[in-house]
Amino acid sequence: MSQPPVEPPLPPPYEPPSQQPTWAAPPPSGPPPSYAPPQFGPPGYPPAFPPPPRKRRVLPVVLASLAAVLVLATAVVVPLVLTRDDDETGGGDGGSVDTTDLDAVESFDGLSNDHLTLGDTFDYPQSPPVGGQHAPVWLECGVYDEPVPEVHVVHDLEHGTTWLTYRPDDLDAAGIEQLADLLPDNGILSPYPDQEAPVVITVWGRQLALTGADDPRIPLFIAEFGAGETAPEPYASCHGGADPDDLPTPGGPVI
């Protein structure tokens, strides 16, 4: 009797290995890498996609613009302020003048009060003169529309007279009238074309150059020196003086 065929034994069931083989790479850690666009063209050429432009910094541009505006404003405003200050403190023939006090009064001491011979002239170092040798006859007080002889008006200064002079080209009729209203009783007003300032006020040994008929120092000067304290004969006055038309021309024959 034949034997039934013997079946081969079945293989054991599959069991996964308990650990990964040594050749297997560990899984990557962290987020996946970002995608980079492919580079086209042969090596050495610029990338196909140029990098995005950088944003310009706005703050430095704004600061530079503000600085430029500040410099421009300074260049315009400062000269205007300086010009206004010059106008407020006086003008005349140049330079800033403080018209609030009498600091600019010039003093001349040691002046001779000797009398000249009638008809003689004298070369005074100041224009207008502030004192010195003079004619034996003085001028009558008042307002004159023509220059008066210096040697005679200096005699008035010896009597404590206040002498106001002006450049005719610098004053109109209103300005002359304004000076006449300020003239004290013991005073003389006359044009003096050769003086440097528009208006000058003089007593014996003291003189002040003025900016014009509206210079606020005119009443200050009269209040300080108008009584004639600086003169050799302060209380003699100019009243009782001569009319210039009755006087001989300085340097000419005595009539």
Length of the chain: 255
Helix H segments across the chain?
Answer: 58-89, 150-158, 173-182, 217-225
Average pLDDT of the segment spanning 237-253: 83
Res 181 pLDDT > 90: yes
Strands (E), 142-242: 142-143, 162-166, 187-191, 199-203, 206-210
Residue 147's identity, in one-letter code, is: P
Question: Residue 177 in contact with residue 169, Cβ under 8 Å?
Answer: no
Res 103 pLDDT > 90: yes
Q: Which residues partner with 21 through β-bridges?
A: none
Res 146 pLDDT > 70: yes
**CA-CA-CA-CA dihedral for 167, 169, 171, 177, to nearest 10:** 80
- Non-local (6+) Cβ contacts of 47 within 8 A are 37, 39
Centroid of chain to Cα 26: 85
- Non-local (6+) Cβ contacts of 227 within 8 A are 160, 234
Read off the pLDDT of residues 54-102 as tens digits, 9 standing for 90 and up: 655 556 666 667 777 676 666 655 555 554 554 444 444 445 789 999 9
* φ and ψ at residue 244, rounded to 5 degrees: -55, -30
Question: Residue 123 in contact with residue 116, Cβ under 8 Å?
Answer: no
* φ and ψ at residue 59, rounded to 5 degrees: -60, -50
Residue scoring higher pLDDT (90 or 37): 37
Residue scoring higher pLDDT (14 or 194): 194
What proportion of the chain, given as a percentage, has pLDDT over 70? 62
Question: Residue 129 in contact with residue 113, Cβ under 8 Å?
Answer: no
Question: Residue 146 in contact with residue 186, Cβ under 8 Å?
Answer: no
User: Which range is least confidently modeled, 38-52, 176-190, 237-251?
Assistant: 38-52
Helix axes 173-182, 217-225, angle to 10 degrees: 30
Question: Residue 135 in contact with residue 155, Cβ under 8 Å?
Answer: yes
Question: Residue 185 in contact with residue 211, Cβ under 8 Å?
Answer: no
Average pLDDT of the segment spanning 1-19: 64
pLDDT-based confidence at residue 178 (cuts at 50, 70, 90): very high
pLDDT-based confidence at residue 30 (cuts at 50, 70, 90): low
Does this model's pTM top 0.85?
Answer: no
Closest CA to 129 of 108, 101, 100: 108
**CA separation for the pair 106, 151 (Å, rounded):** 21
DSSP state of 82: H
